[in-house]
A and B are shown apart, each in its own frame.
Chain A
Amino acid sequence: MPDLEVRIDEKRFGDAVILRDLTFSAQCGEFLALVGPSGVGKSTLLNLIAGLDPLFDGSIHWHGAPLHRHAHSPERLGMMFQEPRLMPWLSALDNVRLVLADPAAESERARTLLQEVGLGHALDAWPNQLSGGMQRRVALARAFAVDPRLLLMDEPFVSLDMPTGNRLRESLLALWQRDRPLVLFVTHDLREALALADRVLFLSEPPARIMLDYVVPLERPRNLEGTAIAKLQERLFSRHPSLLSGALEAPSVRHDT
């Protein structure tokens, strides 16, 4: 039985159907990337899985237990939203401690996590004193702080400079390889998806479903800027030119009726 089973029959906002017949499942320890056109409902999907939005038709099971019945978030869920979403009135350290089971006793852990993401010097800074990239790093440390079994990440490294992004991707992979949580990683950058994930789920244009469940045929470690990933991306594009706009076949190729 898969650890995560997602069956979304329909999710709508008002009259607009966002997701329809979207199903996939995953095992603990897997790294899944979700790729799709922007505005297609990737964040909506993460919110459903996180238990933040109970209003949809379908079911989501985590370790066999239904998450969708009682608007509860799964235990040991680490979540990175599209924005850092730090509490502006708490220092960087307190923002990480906030989510710990016992903030007083595990203070040292929070400190270590912030050092690991390169913020050992900014423990007492307020979020508005930190740059956007630094705020994301605090959010990353916060997501790791709960020892996540399920890690939902919504374009967490977007708009970071290359070295910072690479360092954070490395920290993420290190954590993932150590604790083997299930990672769902939303991105619009196909190369990032190919560099990180075991499987890439491509979302179709709205109403979104999974139109391609692609197993990445590359050994780890992989190099985001290396030729292997560039070639793989090229191959995918030559087979599916409109992949990133949410269609498996290019519109011009479609000869129906």
Chain B
Amino acid sequence: MRSRQWLLRGASLLGLVLVWAIAAWIAAAPMLPAPQQVLASAWQHSLSGELPYHLSTTLARVLVSFLLAMSIGTAIGIAMGRYRRLDIALDGALVLGLNIPALVTIILCYIWFGLTEVAAVIAVSVNKIPTVAVTVREGARAVDLRLLAVAQAYRLPPWRKLWKVYLPQLYPYLMAAARGGLALIWKIVLVVELLGRSNGVGFQLHSYYQFFDITSILAYTLAFAAVVLLVEALIMRPLENRLTRWRDA
């Protein structure tokens, strides 16, 4: 069952590469290099140590912004889902936060905090916090009060109540927020790097763009995509399976 799932996932990815190869073969233009050229380029960039350096810099920024956005967004979401007044008070700010273009917050952060690492991480987190908050708020509104009554009747200590009774009800929402969160953060981090950092994948893409080096651009994209797929396969999916295993038991 599980191995067949993997087969299907692998086959679908291979299919994508195949479509790409055929398109490159038909186009036969330097604008669209073939998969093997891109792979070779990625290998070259890796050997020089440049690709791993920029990739890991980007990953570090993604990780920090992700953790920051998830924890702050979750706290806000729980509070808003729980307290009706706070919900009404913050709702306008939330709608605003959801709709302000990422570019605006990035530019403002760089202007206000300088072209620093802190500004970069803040810019990314601020973009992500509202979407996390909105998702988690839905979960907090749907919390089963009857189970909380059990926790109260048995006088569970606050931490146990949080970890064993409250948060498990939010896990599906937290997973959804994390998934959507990562996808958004990957994208915004690159823009942040392009605009105001001197390293990272976004910065590199910008340099290759100026040289019109499409093969290198695609090589970086490929490495990036590989990381995203690995994170999904090795962290997100196993985590989700673990947290929801009681459902399909």
**Nearest chain-A residue to B169 (Cβ)?**
A89
Q: Which residues of chain B (190-249) have a CB below 8 Å from chain A?
A: 243, 246-247, 249
Interface residues on B, range: 10 to 19
Asked if A81 meets B146 with Cβ closer than 8 Å, knowing A75-B155, A87-B168, the reply is yes
Q: Mark B12-55, 1 if CB is under 8 A from A, else 0.
A: 00000000000000000000000000000000000000000000
Q: Is the Cβ of B146 less than 8 Å from the Cβ of A85?
A: yes
- In Å, the complex CA distance between A21 and B153 comes to 25
CB-CB under 8 A for A146 and B164, given A89-B246, A128-B249: no
Given A85-B147, A126-B249, A129-B249, the answer on whether A77 and B165 have CB atoms closer than 8 Å is: no
The number of chain A residues with a CB under 8 A from chain B is 26
Interchain CB contact under 8 A, B246 and A128: yes
Cross-chain contact A83 with B146 (CB below 8 angstroms): yes
Known: A83-B146, A146-B154. A88 touches B160 (CB 8 A): no
- B71 contacts A by Cβ under 8 Å: no
Q: How far is the CA of A72 from the CA of B168 in the complex (A)?
A: 24
B 128-152 to A, binary, CB cutoff 8 A, 1 in contact else 0: 0000000000000000001101101
The distance in angstroms between the C-alpha atoms of A99 and B147, with both chains bound, is 13
Q: Which residues of B contact A50 (CB under 8 A)?
A: 153
Q: Does B11 contact A (CB under 8 A)?
A: no
- CB within 8 Å of B: which A22-44 residues: none
Q: How far is the CB of A9 from chain B (nearest CB, A)?
A: 24
Q: Does A73 contact B (CB under 8 A)?
A: yes
Q: Select which of A52, A85, A90, A99 is within 8 A of B156 by beta carbon.
A: A99
Cα distance, A73 to B152, chains bound together (Å): 7
- A43-80, CB under 8 A of B: which get 1 and which 0? 00001001110000000000000000000110101010
Tell whether, in the assembled complex, residue B246 and residue A77 are in contact, meaning their CB atoms are under 8 Å apart. no
A98 within 8 A of B: yes
Contacts of A125 in B (CB 8 A): 249
* Complex contact B153–A79 (CB within 8 A): yes
Closest chain A CB from B33 CB (angstroms): 49
Q: How far is the CB of B205 from chain A (nearest CB, A)?
A: 42
B149 x A52 contact (CB < 8 A): yes
What distance in Å separates the Cβ of A45 from its nearest Cβ neighbour in chain B?
14
Closest to A145 in B: B154
Bound Cα distance A145, B152 (Å): 15
Given A52-B152, A77-B153, A146-B154, check contact A128 B147 (CB 8 Å).
Answer: no
A window 126-163: CB within 8 A of B: 126-129, 142, 146
List chain B residues, Cβ under 8 A from A128: 246-247, 249
In the bound complex, residues from chain B placing their C-beta under 8 Å from that of A126 are 246, 249
Shortest Cβ distance from residue B67 to the other chain A in the assembled complex, whole angstroms: 24
* A85 to B152 Cα, complex, angstroms: 13
- Give A97's nearest chain B residue, CB to CB: B164
A29–B141 alpha-carbon span in the complex (Å): 41
Q: What chain A residues lie within 8 Å of B164 (beta carbons)?
A: 87, 90, 94, 98
Q: How far is the CA of A28 from the CA of B118 in the complex (A)?
A: 63
> Chain A: which residue is nearest B149 at the CB level?
A52
Expressed in whole angstroms, the minimum distance between the Cβ of A231 and any Cβ of chain B is: 38
4 tightest Cβ-Cβ pairs between the two chains A and B: A99-B154, A126-B246, A79-B153, A89-B168
Q: List 15 A-B contacts (CB under 8 A).
A: A50-B153, A73-B153, A73-B154, A77-B154, A77-B155, A81-B150, A85-B146, A85-B147, A87-B168, A94-B164, A98-B156, A98-B160, A126-B246, A127-B246, A142-B154
B: residues with CB less than 8 A from A are 146-147, 149-150, 152-156, 160, 164-165, 168, 171, 243, 246-247, 249
Interface residues of A (CB under 8 A from B): 47, 50-52, 72-73, 75, 77, 79, 81, 83, 85, 87-90, 94, 98-99, 125-129, 142, 146
> Apart from A87-B150, A89-B243, what are 16 other A-B pairs with CB-CB below 8 Å?
A51-B153, A72-B155, A75-B155, A77-B153, A79-B150, A81-B150, A85-B150, A87-B147, A87-B165, A87-B168, A89-B168, A90-B246, A98-B154, A98-B160, A99-B154, A128-B247
